Structure 1
């Protein structure tokens, strides 16, 4: 397999139209940022071409991950891989900040789910106790 070409942000930014649409997707936690030419996929994208065109020629990783794409979508994406994103110092800092933000928001979601789960268990216990005492009074 040949080594993938590296593209700078300046090069990628030129590919931001319906006729020529590139995206940067990936981060340090999943193998690093990669460059994808999704031009031929625009009409087939379930969310519509506009969703991709909104982030064309840019780092679209945060948007891609926020949607929660399936394994099938990730496999489909791999068909359009054309190279690696050449990171400069500014891009590294931006990606590092985005990764930290994402990990913090995921932690916040877990704690929110935990609070909701505790509340549901509390309601279930209260209901059970109420039904149990109502049954005891009837006897």
Structure 2
């Protein structure tokens, strides 16, 4: 959570600072259009922001399936192919993990509102997993 705040807070401050600097104060009429009929923001540079390890809610990773965490529960799409890359989307406000019950087959941590990916085991089987932060959250990964 601290890492997300460390990334988001400076970005938000920069956006507000740029927005404040963009006001030229010449328009006293209160009109939304300039004397040339342009939109008042047309002279502003466009800004693009991206945050590592996150995707918008509802966006699935191209070419893979998605596990969704919501209301402290896992929702799996069904079975997975051996070695398939899977996206995990955390729709909760708490951090979660998808951690294999045995061995070190997979263990991924997902911040609130973010996504992460991992590769399912390369051999077919049934693999139980849990959230290390919330022991009541359990699931089973079917690889076929």
Task: Give the TM-score taking structure 1 as reference length.
Answer: 0.20
**Looking at CA atoms only, which structure, 1 or 2, has the larger radius of gyration?**
1
RCO comparison, higher one (Cα < 8 Å, 6+): 1
Which structure dedicates a bigger proportion of its chain to helix? 1
Which structure dedicates a bigger proportion of its chain to strand? 2
Task: Give the TM-score taking structure 2 as reference length.
Answer: 0.20
